[in-house]
């Protein structure tokens, strides 16, 4: 308010620059401010409801019996009309509009507050007289009423864009965060990627700050005193007992069979979206066999790499019957040495082994070697262990076994993983 008091509001550009400088702090906020400023201070564009109507001289015929709205249409200015619409909008609280279907009711409320009933009465009275002048007057008022409706409709549409846009977007985003990933359609993926970027920005910011603080540690008095001998004991150069914080070492095994590949897509987007100073990831995908895909994901855009990878192209993964036992045996034979006491192992799959040997002893070996073993199952917990599901036999060898089939689930798991690994 002090900024507006200083610069005034006669110069639109100057006002926008002043408000931007005191309200928006980051580049993202400045972009949002620019859009909001343009919407809020956009030209109302109220045309004259009687403009272009033949025999407009009839507009000067203002009668004592005319209603307030009729008088405004007959002899008022467009500025008077715009002010009347704004006053009515304020009275009916148009700023409270939040949903698309509310536009019609708000239009009717504004027109009612402006005195539409009186205008309708004047039109009806003019039609009731047989004189040509009265009939022309009725026709002009009907056209003016129609144009007034369009003006108010346009006004309410702008208010909806201004006040309801973020609410509608927020409601849709909240729905997608909690929707089952396996039920999403291709058209939702672009919006889901945008939501993931927001989540990642928060996680990266949160744990980057935590690492920076942790590196300071506690003051090392002996080293500090030795380093400051040259300063006669004044502590200019402080030394810390800062322990080294390694990046979390993560190995991911992902089932890419059709039943779970939607969840795989978003889990890998999550993990690879965490900046490489925060996590170290080795990725494997499997169906009938196990294939490492770390190089594919590191070499280019993760989204494009995932699309090729999940189709089975360029990876060598055999898209036959899922065989968890064979996958675990193969991992033990080729990559077990990569698992250390600092390694977190994440397995994403439904544990449906098509009645093959589950090789639980191999999973037990991995469990004993790693820092933490997490199993994320996209199926509901109520059907774990039913049919060919081996989940109940695998669960005892997991530090954490969770149902995971929404973005919200993924965010919580990654958050817990980072929190555990960095502490």
Query: Which of 367, 343, 365, 374 has the alpha carbon at shortest distance from 250?
Result: 343
The predicted structure's pLDDT at residue 36 = 83
Which range, of 44-53, 91-100, 165-174, 239-248, averages the lowest pLDDT?
Answer: 44-53
258 touches 228 (CB < 8 A): no
Query: Which of 319, 332, 389 has the alpha carbon at shortest distance from 364?
Result: 332
The predicted structure's pLDDT at residue 302 = 64
Q: Check pLDDT > 60 for residue 67.
A: yes
423 burial level (CB within 10 Å; 0-12, 13-18, 19+): exposed
Buried b (16+ CB within 10 A) or exposed e, 30-48: eeebeebbeeeeeeeebeb
403 touches 395 (CB < 8 A): no
Q: Sorting pLDDT into bands at 50, 70 and 90, what band is 240?
A: confident
> Which region, left, alpha or beta, applies to residue 207 given φ > 0 means left and ψ of -120 to 50 means alpha?
alpha
C-alpha separations of 73 from 62, 69, 109, 174 in Å = 10, 6, 18, 45
The count of other CB atoms within 10 Å of the CB of residue 163 is 16
Q: Which two tokens stand for residue 307?
A: 């699309």
Q: Sorting pLDDT into bands at 50, 70 and 90, what band is 58?
A: very low
**The pairing of beta strand 372-377 with beta strand 400-403:** parallel
Separation of alpha carbons 271 and 267, rounded Å: 6
The predicted structure's pLDDT at residue 165 = 63
How high is the mean pLDDT of the chain? 80
Separation of alpha carbons 218 and 239, rounded Å: 9
Q: Sorting pLDDT into bands at 50, 70 and 90, what band is 383?
A: very high
C-alpha separations of 359 from 322, 332, 401 in Å = 14, 11, 18
Which tens digit of pLDDT belongs to each residue from 130-171? Answer: 788 888 888 888 888 888 898 899 888 888 877 776 666 667
In CATH, 246-421 is 3.40.50.410: yes
Separation of alpha carbons 245 and 247, rounded Å: 7
One DSSP character per residue, 117-136 reads HHHHHHHHHHHT--SHHHHH
Neighbour order of strands in the sheet with 280-286: 290-292, 280-286, 249-255, 343-348, 372-377, 400-403
96 touches 160 (CB < 8 A): no
Which comes out higher in pLDDT, residue 123 or 245?
A: 123
**Please, which residues have CB within 8 angstroms of residue 115's CB and are 6 or more apart in sequence?**
67, 68, 69
Residues of the chain with CATH 3.40.50.410: 246-421
The long-range contacts involving 63-67, CB below 8 angstroms and separated by at least 24 positions, are 65/122, 65/125, 66/122, 67/115, 67/117, 67/118, 67/119, 67/121, 67/122
Q: Which two tokens stand for residue 3?
A: 């900024």
Which tens digit of pLDDT belongs to each residue from 285-333? Answer: 888 899 888 877 665 566 666 666 666 556 777 888 889 999 999 999 9
Q: Which residue has the tokens 């994403």?
A: 348
Q: Is the pTM of this model over 0.75?
A: no
Separation of alpha carbons 169 and 175, rounded Å: 10
Q: Check pLDDT > 90 for residue 18.
A: yes
Q: Which 8-state DSSP code applies to residue 244?
A: P
Backbone angles phi, psi at 62, to 5 degrees: -90, 125
The predicted structure's pLDDT at residue 213 = 47
């Amino acid at each position: 308010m002090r900024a507006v008091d200083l610069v005034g509001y006669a110069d639109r550009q100057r006002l926008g620059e002043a408000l931007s400088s005191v309200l928006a702090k980051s580049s993202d906020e400045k972009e949002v401010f620019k859009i909001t400023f343009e919407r809020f201070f956009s030209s109302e564009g109220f045309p004259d409801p009687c403009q272009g109507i033949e025999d407009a001289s009839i507009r000067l015929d203002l009668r004592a019996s005319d209603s307030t709205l009729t008088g405004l249409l007959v002899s008022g200015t467009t500025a008077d009309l715009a002010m009347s619409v704004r006053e009515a909008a304020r009275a009916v609280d148009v700023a409270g509009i939040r949903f698309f279907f509310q536009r019609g009711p708000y239009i009717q409320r504004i027109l009612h507050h402006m005195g539409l009933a009186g205008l309708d009465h004047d039109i009806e009275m003019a039609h009731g007289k047989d004189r040509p002048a009265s009939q022309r007057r009725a026709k002009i008022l009907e056209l003016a009423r129609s144009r007034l409706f369009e003006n108010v409709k346009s006004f309410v549409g702008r208010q909806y864009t201004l006040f309801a846009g973020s609410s509608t977007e927020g409601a849709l985003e909240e729905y997608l965060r909690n929707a089952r990933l396996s039920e999403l359609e291709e058209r939702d993926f672009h919006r889901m990627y945008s939501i993931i970027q927001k989540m990642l920005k928060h996680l990266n910011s949160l744990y980057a700050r935590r690492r920076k603080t942790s590196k300071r540690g506690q003051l090392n008095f002996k080293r500090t005193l030795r380093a400051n001998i040259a300063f006669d004991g004044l502590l200019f150069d402080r030394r810390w007992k800062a322990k080294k914080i390694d990046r979390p070492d993560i190995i991911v095994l992902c089932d890419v069979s059709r039943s779970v590949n939607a969840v795989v897509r978003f889990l890998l987007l999550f993990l690879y979206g965490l900046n490489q100073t925060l996590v170290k990831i080795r990725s494997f995908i499997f169906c009938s066999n196990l294939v490492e895909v770390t190089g594919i994901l590191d070499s280019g855009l993760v989204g494009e790499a995932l699309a090729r990878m999940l189709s089975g192209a360029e990876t060598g993964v055999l898209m036959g019957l899922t065989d968890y036992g064979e996958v675990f045996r193969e991992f033990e034979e080729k990559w077990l040495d990569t698992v250390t006491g600092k390694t977190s192992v994440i397995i994403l799959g439904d544990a449906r082994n098509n009645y093959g040997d589950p090789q639980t002893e191999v999973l037990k070996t991995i469990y004993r070697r790693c820092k933490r073993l997490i199993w994320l199952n996209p199926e509901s917990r109520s059907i774990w262990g039913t049919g060919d599901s081996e989940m109940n036999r695998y669960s005892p060898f997991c530090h954490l076994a969770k149902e995971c089939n929404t973005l919200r689930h993924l965010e919580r798991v990654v958050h817990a993983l980072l929190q555990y690994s960095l502490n």
